[in-house]
């Protein structure tokens, strides 16, 4: 009788340990996914900063009369690259997008620039990079949702917080990013 009870107890303990290990590993995997997808956003943001000087170099000679269009972009870029709070970051990102949009709008008025392959290629690269930024944010949010749900569900909810697993924050589009960008032709 005693041995049967012992065997049953051992089996229960072993099952619980295996369960705990797999839950723990699931938490670690999700946390890494969240971190990795957060880095991906930065990678794409940086890619956009890197693209801009090349774009400006390629179209510089067409924009002699529109110097302020170019300086706007340069300023917005360097401002966006400053370390700042997420709210401010979103605002300066939106300013940068607006300034670049302005350049393409102005380019519409120049027939030889409109058919310039450098500009067309850059337009594709830039809009793709903007897509990548938003897809990276979307994937980050997906990962956060998966991770947070895991933390808040049984059985992880019992020990997750005491072992240092805390919910991550969602990326939320800030006010200015959602506003439509006003394009001025001056």
Partner 1 sequence: MDQKDLGTFRERIVRNRRNSLLLIAAFLAFITVFGYVIGYAWLGHPIRALYGLALALVVGTIFGLLSYYGGDRLVLAASRAREITHADAPVLFNVVEEMTIAAGLPMPKVYIVDDSAPNAFATGRSPEHATVAVTSGLLEKLDRDELQGVMAHEMSHVANFDIRYSMLVGILVGTTVLISDFFLRGLWFGGGRGGGRRGGDGGNQLQIIMMLVAIVLAILAPLFARLMQLSISRQREFLADATAVRLTRNPKGLADALQKISGDKEILEVANRATAHLYIVNPIKRFEKRSKGLFSTHPPIEERIQILRAIEAGGVAETSGQTSTETP
Site for partner 1 in 131-170 (CB under 8 A): 131-132, 134-139, 142-143, 145-146, 149
Distance (Å, rounded) from C-alpha 104 to C-alpha 102? 5
User: Angle, nearest 10°, between helix axes 117-152 and 86-107?
Assistant: 160
Q: Is the dihedral of CA 173, 41, 32, 143 positive or negative?
A: positive
Query: Which x/- pattern over 10-49 shows residues binding partner 1 (rule: CB under 8 A)?
Result: -----------------------x--xx--x---x-----
Name the token pair of 16: 């619980």
Q: How far is the CB of 54 from partner 1 (least distance, A)?
A: 14
Which of 20, 51, 81, 105 is the binder for partner 1 (CB under 8 A)?
A: 105
Which of 130, 151, 167, 176 is the binder for partner 1 (CB under 8 A)?
A: 130
Distance (Å, rounded) from C-alpha 186 to C-alpha 174? 28
Contact range with partner 1 by CB under 8 A, out of 7-15, 53-61, 128-136, 161-169: 128-136
């Amino acid at each position: 009788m005693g041995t049967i009870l012992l065997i049953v107890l051992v089996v229960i303990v072993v099952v619980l340990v295996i369960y705990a290990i797999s839950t723990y590993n699931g938490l670690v995997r999700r946390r890494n996914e969240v971190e990795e997808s957060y880095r991906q956003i930065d990678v794409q943001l940086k890619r956009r900063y890197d693209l801009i000087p090349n774009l400006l170099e390629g179209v510089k000679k067409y924009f002699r009369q529109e110097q302020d269009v170019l300086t706007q972009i340069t300023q917005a870029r360097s401002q966006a690259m400053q370390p700042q709070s997420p709210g401010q970051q979103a605002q300066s990102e939106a300013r940068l997008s607006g300034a670049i949009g302005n350049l393409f709008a102005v380019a519409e008025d120049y027939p030889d620039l409109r058919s310039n392959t450098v500009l067309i290629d850059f337009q594709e690269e830039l809009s793709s990079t903007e897509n990548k930024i938003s897809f990276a944010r979307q994937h980050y949010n997906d990962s956060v949702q998966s991770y947070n749900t895991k933390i808040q569900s049984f059985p992880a909810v019992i020990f997750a917080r005491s072992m240092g697993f805390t919910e991550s924050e969602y990326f939320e589009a800030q006010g200015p990013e959602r506003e439509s960008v006003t394009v001025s032709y001056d």
